[in-house]
Amino acid sequence: MKMRTYVVLALALIFSVLHAEDAAPVRLETKEVSLGNAEIDILPATLRLSADAKHMAFIGRRGDDWIVVLDGIPGKAYDGIGDTSLLFSPDNAHLAYAAMDGNDWRVVVDGVEEKPYAGLQGIVFSPDSKRVGYFANHGNDWFAVVEGSEGKKYDEAADLVFSPNGKRFAYAANHGRNWKVVVDGKEGKEYDGAASIVFSPDSRRVAYAAQHGRSWRVVLDDVEGKEYDGLRQGNGVPELRRAAYAALHANPEEVSLDDIFGDSAPTFSPDSTHLAYWARHGNAWHVVVDGAESKAYDGYLRGSHLVFEKPNVVRALAVRGADALRVGIEVK
């Protein structure tokens, strides 16, 4: 048995040696990306990648100076950099951020400095990556700055949104307690609150949710819709945000009733002809499409959004009793 075992081991060893000689040699290719001078202290939490993962930027500190490092190349030194301001453009070709020089803040785009201001917030690129907008302030006044052009001054301004073609823009602003939506510099009607500004896919139409007292309505191209007890979760002046168009891919059998009452914004159909949103009367929720109400539901799923599957078919994730439902509504 021992002799047989030795023969088997010897043959296995010879086979492995021959096999190793016949096999192609393993080749390793290493690619390195410089993170800049080793004297720079990296702030890991500020690391940003472009959407195509081809560019990387982060904020670093060298002595008393703050810098942005893009693809391993340090930029100009400043007294401060907005730690959440690093933003790549949608086409991955441009980088913007807020930098402080002395007591002034300015937006820097591809290393080019814009006009200084006392404060900055909300840097955003247009979808075509050709325009940059943000809010700036002098004293107690806030105003939109789009391609260097300053808008009217307000007590507050928020949620700057560009149209899909990048040629139009809108935002919410207020004087005192009254909010209005400003579209291409033109002020709309005043309300107690404004939220969820969204342009249609063809960039021609704009809609948003407006609050009057405890009631909400959707305003489409300055035309007010029907009042409801609620259009979305929350009361008072809401947090402003752009609408989302992606649906939640969820298994209804795994949905908990704790997930009802999502955060849905007005949604246009792909051809811009229809507008849909969730609205509430009392305890009943309805999908409203072009002013027409669907059947009543107890709520809709947290994180879900109305999505037009076809130009005339909208999908929703709703709750009725203990059932989570996938709802399809066709516009006839």
32 or 304, which is more confident: 304
Residue 249 is predicted with a pLDDT of 30
pLDDT digits (tens, 9 = 90+) for 151-162: 999 999 999 999
The model's confidence at residue 256, banded by pLDDT at 50, 70 and 90, is very low
**CA gap 48, 54 in Å, rounded:** 11
Residue identified by tokens 């959004």 is: 305
**CA gap 86, 76 in Å, rounded:** 14
**Average model confidence (pLDDT) across the chain:** 80
37 or 127, which is more confident: 127
Residue identified by tokens 């340090």 is: 74
Residues 6+ apart with CB under 8 A from 171: 135, 144, 157, 158, 159, 160, 161, 181, 182, 197
In the chain the first and final C-alpha atoms are separated, in Å, by 85
pLDDT digits (tens, 9 = 90+) for 70-88: 988 899 999 999 988 999 9
User: Which bin fits 14, alpha (ψ -120 to 50), beta or left (φ > 0)?
Assistant: alpha
The model's confidence at residue 34, banded by pLDDT at 50, 70 and 90, is low
Q: DSSP 3-state assignment of 231?
A: coil
Residues 6+ apart with CB under 8 A from 277: 209, 218, 231, 264, 265, 266, 267, 287, 288, 306
**CA gap 125, 176 in Å, rounded:** 29
Spell out where 168-282 has E strands.
169-175, 178-183, 186-187, 193-199, 206-212, 215-220, 223-224, 267-268, 275-281
Mean pLDDT (whole number) for 175-185: 90
Residue identified by tokens 């192609």 is: 24
CB atoms within 10 A of CB 241: 15
**CA gap 215, 207 in Å, rounded:** 17
Angle, CA of 170, 189 and 292, to the nearest 5°: 85
Question: Which is nearest to 106 in space by CA: 82, 139, 128, 88?
Answer: 82
* pLDDT cut 90: percent of the chain above it: 39
The model's confidence at residue 254, banded by pLDDT at 50, 70 and 90, is very low
Contact predicate 294/286, CB 8 Å: yes
The DSSP call for residue 191 is: B
Residue identified by tokens 């006044």 is: 141
pLDDT digits (tens, 9 = 90+) for 266-288: 889 999 999 998 888 888 888 88
Residue 49 is predicted with a pLDDT of 87
CA 253 to chain centre: 29
Q: DSSP 3-state assignment of 181?
A: strand
Residue identified by tokens 């200084």 is: 116
pLDDT digits (tens, 9 = 90+) for 225-246: 888 877 743 332 222 222 222 2
Mean pLDDT (whole number) for 171-198: 90
Residue 138 is predicted with a pLDDT of 85
The DSSP call for residue 30 is: -
SS3 of the chain: helix, strand, coil, percent, to 5: 10, 45, 45
The model's confidence at residue 264, banded by pLDDT at 50, 70 and 90, is low
Q: Name the token pair of 109.
A: 């785009």
Task: Kindly report the pTM of this predicted structure.
Answer: 0.73
Q: DSSP 3-state assignment of 107?
A: strand
Question: Which is nearest to 191 in space by CA: 175, 168, 170?
Answer: 175
Residue 323 is predicted with a pLDDT of 76
Backbone dihedral angles phi then psi of residue 15, each to the nearest 5 degrees: -65, -40
pLDDT at 171 over 80: yes
Question: Which is nearest to 194 in space by CA: 208, 205, 184, 183?
Answer: 208
pLDDT at 250 over 60: no
